[in-house]
Amino acid sequence: MSEPVIADKKPVVMELEAGTYYWCSCGQSSNQPFCNGAHQGTEFVPLKFDVEEAKQVALCNCKYTENKPFCDGSHAKL
């Protein structure tokens, strides 16, 4: 299995509106933390997730979280 590219060693904290989002799992997207299709030709696929109501989230940018797509502090161990 391939390893994802570490896009950043800190999460991106942002306000998301209610809706469906696709989190980049490969780390190659130029639209971090969201997928832009850069995973094409790899074994990676984006992670679809829904936000039920507007809220602030911390999305993982290191791609090693155990709580995808949310940051769990795994970047501190890299």
pLDDT tens digit string along 48-72? 999 999 999 999 999 999 999 999 9
Q: Residues, the chain, total?
A: 78
Q: How confident is the model at residue 1 (pLDDT cuts 50, 70, 90)?
A: low
Strands annotated E in 1-78 = 12-16, 19-23, 47-51, 55-59
| Average pLDDT rounded to a whole number, residues 23-43 | 97
Q: Provide the Cα torsion 59, 64, 69, 70; round to 10°.
A: -50
Domain boundaries, given as residue ranges, for the chain: 12-77
Judge whether residue 8 has pLDDT over 90. Answer: yes
Query: What pTM did the predictor assign?
Result: 0.94
pLDDT at residue 70, rounded to an integer? 98
